[in-house]
């Protein structure tokens, strides 16, 4: 073991959340309840998981905070932005994810969290009609306004460090444009020229966060930090970035089950995924341009795990061109379900001598209940990475994300295989704790 070079988690950690909806309020309520000993942060790996350290007679299994210095729940301070002005208590009650009996004990804490006016462009989320919005004339003004919010929040709450987390809606799809998104100077010029086509509001939050020395986490499938210009900014500011899209329900199942097919050398003809959900996320995704962003994110998972070029006999079948299995994803807005998302997967596989079989998976999940512990882990581990001097894309956080960031300009491919992602995560924790990263990622 070598001494850990991670700075201690001294002082308060401010977690500023873009969005004050179902995910954000479930996350905040759970942390407040856990601090009072009234609930348990189940699903959070930073609070429960143990990692093997050493081998043979020196082998031990330790929790994350026994290996690296993590911020304690008591030291977290929350703030948020939202287009709707309701405080976190009102928003949690409106979301109807949690029962009133699980919100009331921390009502006082939640009522103190009043969302700052958001920087917003209705063209990016046409179904949202809130009026708690800053009156910024240009994208650059948006950046400056968010930077001021971060500085003020940090000072007023006595925070030593800040992390910014996007838990807001999915924006419309923004294709990567080399003339705008590849170089920081071009992105800044586009912001100052108020290029609304290529600069999404989420990019303004990310730029502001990184400029103020705060790690940024993208919890939706937005293009945001998944562009070389933002990687350049993260290098300049020495800040971590992570994204994109929380891996909660169907894609979690897909990234865990696809390796079973691949490891067992079974063939795949097709994988059809469909979802119903009725929360605000479902409402926004009912807009085709917003769904396109999510579709790209969800489709990328399977193709990096089961590869036709590596196993043509197994995965080179299924679609009209007969080059790859057929893969389709659908999301349907269905208000009666609210936050209780249901995912169906129909998987057409084949085995010995090409004989067909099927697997059906029906996952009735609670979207925000699965997302809340991811929010906690991503915030604590991004803060840890910053204190460890890690900056740029944090590939070790891919475990938590549906469409992990990677340097596509260099032909790098995202790792979507759940168990490989877990190995990367464990090795990073070991390294930051001063231990040997001793697991192979096959």
Answer whether residue 176 shows pLDDT above 90: yes
Are 386 and 254 contained in the same domain? no
* Helix (H) and strand (E) counts in the chain: 16, 13
In this structure, is residue 6 part of a structural domain? no
What's the rounded Cα separation, in Å, for the pair 39 and 29?
A: 10
CB of 217 closer than 8 Å to CB of 382: yes
The verdict on 210 and 264 lying in the same domain is no
Higher per-residue pLDDT: 329 or 432: 432
Helices (H), 193-339: 201-211, 228-237, 250-263, 280-285, 288-303, 312-315
- What distance in Å separates the CA atoms of residue 325 and residue 320, rounded to the nearest whole number? 9
Both 342 and 416 in a single domain?
Answer: no
Encode pLDDT of 33-70 as tens digits: 999 999 999 999 999 999 999 999 999 999 999 999 99
Q: What is the mean pLDDT of residues 321-338?
A: 84
Is 440 within the bounds of a domain?
no
Find out whether 143 and 204 touch, Cβ atoms under 8 Å. yes
* Residue 180, pLDDT above cutoff 90: yes
CATH number at residue 274: 3.30.360.10
Nearest to 78 by CA among 188, 154, 190, 148: 154
Condensed to tens digits (0 to 9), the pLDDT of residues 224-239 reads: 999 999 999 999 999 9
For 7-143, list the strands marked E by DSSP. Answer: 12-18, 50-53, 60-63, 76-82, 116-117
- Residues 101, 159, single domain; the answer is yes
One domain for residues 238 and 314: no
Same domain, 235 and 353: no
Q: What is the pLDDT of residue 297?
A: 60
CATH of the domain at 412: 3.40.50.720
- Residue 294: what pLDDT? 63
- 438 assigned to some structural domain: no
Q: Are residues 242 and 256 in the same domain?
A: no
> 349 forms bridges with which residues in the sheet?
268, 357
Q: Measuring CA to CA, which residue among 215, 184, 208 is closest to residue 387?
A: 215
Q: Residue 287: its pLDDT value, please?
A: 74
- The C-alpha atoms of residue 425 and residue 418 are separated, in whole angstroms, by 10
Structure confidence at residue 322 (pLDDT): 60
Domain that holds residue 338: 250-366
273 DSSP β-pair partners: 329, 345
**Average predicted confidence (pLDDT) for the chain:** 93
**Which are the contacts of 185, defined by CB distance < 8 A and separation ≥ 6?**
none
Per-residue pLDDT of 340-358, as tens digits, reads: 889 999 999 999 999 999 9
How would residue 359 be classed by pLDDT, with cut points 50, 70 and 90? very high
Confidence of residue 398 (pLDDT cuts 50, 70, 90): very high
- In this structure, the answer to whether residues 294 and 234 fall within a common structural domain is no
Contact at 8 Å (CB) between 19 and 81? yes
Check: CB of residue 230 under 8 Å from CB of residue 405.
no
Q: In whole angstroms, give the CA distance from residue 93 to residue 221.
A: 26
Cα→Cα distances 418→196, 232, 373, Å = 36, 28, 17
Tokens of 101: 């009996």
Number of domains observed in the structure of the chain = 2
Name the pLDDT band for 317 (thresholds 50, 70, 90): low
Q: Are residues 360 and 403 in the same domain?
A: no
Of 366, 397, 414, the residue at which a domain comes to its end is 366
Q: pLDDT for 156-166, tens place per residue?
A: 999 999 999 99
What does the pLDDT look like over 68-124, one tens digit per residue?
A: 999 999 999 999 999 999 999 999 999 999 999 999 999 999 999 999 999 999 999
**Domain for residue 409, yes or no?**
yes
Using DSSP, state whether 11 is helix, strand or coil: coil
DSSP 8-state class, residue 167: -
pLDDT surpasses 60 at 319 = no
Q: Convert the pLDDT of each residue in 258-300 to its tens digit.
A: 999 999 999 999 999 999 888 777 677 667 766 676 666 666 7
| DSSP string across 392-430 | EE-GGGGGGBSS----GGGT------HHHHHHHHHHHHH
Q: What is the pLDDT of residue 320?
A: 55
- Cα–Cα separations (whole angstroms), residue 255 to 111, 333, 418: 38, 24, 5
Buried b (16+ CB within 10 A) or exposed e, 131-170: ebbeebebbbbbbbbbbebbeebbeeeebebbbbbbbbbb
Which of 311, 343, 366 is the last residue in one of the domains? 366
Q: What is the pLDDT of residue 286?
A: 67
Q: Pinpoint the alpha helices (H) of 157-241.
A: 178-181, 184-192, 201-211, 228-237
Residues 301 and 155 in one domain: no
% of the chain beyond a pLDDT of 90: 81
Alpha-carbon Rg for the chain, nearest whole angstrom, is: 21
Judge whether 215 lies within some domain: yes
d(CA 177, CA 174): 8
Rounded to two decimals, what is the model's pTM? 0.94
**Both structure tokens of 225:** 């930090």
Shared domain for 224 and 105, answered yes or no, is yes
Rounded distance between C-alpha atoms, residue 382 and residue 379, angstroms: 5
**Among the three residues 348, 366, 384, which one is the final residue of a domain in this structure?**
366
Same-domain status, 48 and 125: yes
User: What is the arrangement of strands in the sheet containing 76-82, beginning at the earlier edge strand?
Assistant: 116-117, 76-82, 12-18, 159-166, 216-218, 240-243, 392-393
């Amino acid at each position: 073991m070598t001494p850990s070079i991670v700075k201690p988690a001294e002082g308060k950690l401010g977690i500023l959340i873009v969005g004050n909806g179902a995910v954000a309020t479930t996350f905040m309520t759970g942390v407040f309840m856990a601090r009072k000993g009234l609930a348990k942060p189940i699903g959070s790996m930073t609070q429960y998981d143990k990692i093997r350290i050493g081998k043979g007679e020196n082998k031990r299994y330790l929790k994350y905070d026994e290996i690296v210095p993590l911020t304690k729940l008591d030291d977290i301070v929350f703030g948020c932005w939202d287009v709707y002005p309701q405080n976190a208590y009102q928003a949690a009650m409106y979301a109807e994810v949690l029962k009133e009996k699980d919100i009331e004990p921390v009502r006082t804490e939640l009522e103190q969290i009043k969302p700052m006016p958001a920087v917003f462009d209705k063209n990016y989320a046409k179904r949202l009609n809130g009026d708690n919005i800053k009156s910024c004339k240009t994208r650059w003004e948006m950046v400056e306004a968010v930077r001021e919010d971060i500085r003020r929040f940090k000072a007023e709450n006595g925070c030593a460090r800040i992390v910014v987390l996007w838990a807001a809606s999915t924006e419309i799809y923004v294709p990567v444009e080399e003339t705008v998104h590849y170089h920081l100077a071009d992105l800044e010029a586009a912001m100052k020229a108020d290029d609304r086509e290529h600069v999404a509001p989420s990019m303004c939050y990310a730029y502001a966060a990184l400029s103020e020395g705060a790690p940024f986490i993208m919890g939706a499938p937005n293009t945001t930090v998944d562009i070389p210009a933002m990687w350049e900014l993260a290098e300049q500011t020495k800040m971590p970035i992570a994204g994109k899209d929380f891996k909660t329900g169907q894609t979690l199942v897909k990234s865990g089950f696809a390796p079973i097919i691949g490891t067992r050398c079974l063939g795949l003809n097709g994988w059809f995924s469909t979802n119903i959900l009725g929360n605000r996320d479902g409402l926004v995704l009912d807009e085709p341009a917003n769904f396109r962003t999510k579709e790209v994110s969800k489709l990328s998972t399977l193709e990096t795990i089961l590869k036709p070029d590596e196993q043509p006999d197994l995965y080179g079948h299924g679609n009209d061109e007969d080059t790859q299995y057929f893969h389709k994803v659908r999301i349907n807005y269905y208000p009666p379900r609210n936050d209780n998302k249901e995912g169906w997967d129909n998987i057409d596989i084949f085995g010995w001598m090409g004989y067909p079989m099927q697997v059906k998976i029906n996952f009735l999940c609670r979207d925000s209940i699965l997302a809340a512990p991811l929010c906690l882990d991503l915030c604590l581990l991004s803060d840890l990475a910053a204190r460890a001097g890690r900056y740029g894309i944090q590939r070790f956080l891919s475990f938590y994300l549906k469409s992990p960031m990677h340097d596509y300009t260099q032909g790098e491919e995202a790792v979507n295989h759940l168990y490989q992602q877990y190995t990367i995560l464990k090795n990073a924790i070991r390294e930051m704790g001063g231990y040997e990263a001793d697991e192979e990622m096959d």
